[in-house]
A and B are shown apart, each in its own frame.
Chain A
Amino acid sequence: MRFRFDRLSGSLVRRATARFLRIAAPFVLTYFPHPAFSIESAQPGLEKLFHLAGIPGLRRDERVNLSLTPDGLLFETKKVHYQVPYVQIHQILVLQADRRYEGRTYAAAVATYGIGSLLILKKHHVDTVVLDYVNERGGKMGIVVQMEVSQGEHFKDLLKGRNLPLVEPGEISEALPKPGTGTDVTDRSKP
């Protein structure tokens, strides 16, 4: 028996199928782990990191590339080139964090008549890198960027290769006090 699709054109079955596919596609693409099918393609090296704070001239959540030059860590976009010399780095902390993609959720919500907004429940695991350094005048500075977990592992390997002060979350030094270790408010805030 031949099955012809054009018989179903405009039918309730076809419209229902199309609607189901429209709703299901973003969920499947988001949850499916294989890189060839997922929305997020793997980034080679340390590219397209999310800038959270600290790089002059960059806004929050702007994408930035990171490379390790012979002199220091270089943060680059088309407009901004900002280098932190290795000698000025005090410590680098890599934390596990979650991130939500609002743009993707918004697109899914529009495509699926609002149902796709449930994508907001999906957390994306990332590594947050906290770079603690001093400027040329000895002032305390910091940069916070987020990267994919695979990039985080790659970054840690690169840091170990250069003997940079990589700190695990449990061993945070005085420059960045571990939460909950402060003393009384009055004493700590006095100059």
Chain B
Amino acid sequence: MRSAFFSIAVIASALVLTTSATAENKSGQKKYQYLQVNRFEIQQGVDLPPDYQLTIDEDLNKELAKIKGMKQVLREGETLPEGQPVLLVTGTVTRYKKGNQAARYLVGFGAGATVIDAHIRCYDATTKELLLERDVDGKVIMGLMGGKSEGANNGLAKEVAKHVKEKFFK
């Protein structure tokens, strides 16, 4: 009886190890450990400050690097690792509302909110197959003394990281 339990446990653990060692997960997708983030583009007519564009990129790299199972987050322009599937994340900022910290603090009720909307796409870097497409946003509605407007960048980055994690790293 005891040896039967032991052999079942051995077989089960072997199965688990075999499954995780393959390059594809349960839904048949490649298991990505490398990710490349391109700087977000700005849609025509959207007046996003240049420092915000760069801050989104930096925040995005920071947030994506926190995902468990991620080996490396590559920057735009870096050489891709050979023989490894790489997930490419691109995005376009479609709306930017500057907001007003004083209005957020003194008025409240959603007044003076800073909003950044973006449309993201995730591709397989080698095959260019589109794997994920989402609308995301970053908002600052409240916070300490109304909350800093730059917090919208971080909110956007966190939401992108959440979608990527749910789709490819669970």
Residues of A at under 8 Å CB distance from B? 52-54, 60-61, 93, 95, 97, 100, 102, 105-106, 117-118, 120-121, 128, 130, 132, 134-135, 137-142, 144, 169, 172, 176-185, 188-191
Contact = CB atoms under 8 A, between A and B. Distances in A.
* Most chain A beta-carbon contacts within 10 A, residue among B51, B92, B102, B106: B51
A169 B49 CA distance: 10
Given A120-B146, A179-B49, A188-B92, A144 B54 contact: yes
Given A60-B150, A139-B74, A189-B92, A177 B42 contact: yes
A191 B76 contact: no
Contacts of B76: 139-140
A190 B90 contact: yes
Interface residues of B, number: 47
A144 B51 contact: yes
B150 A52 contact: yes
B49 to A, nearest CB: 7
Contacts of A61: 148
Interface in B3-45: 38-39, 41-45
A52 B49 CA distance: 14
B144 A102 contact: yes
Contacts of B123: 191
B92 A120 contact: no
Nearest to A131: B54
B77 interface: yes
A130 B50 contact: yes
B46 interface: yes
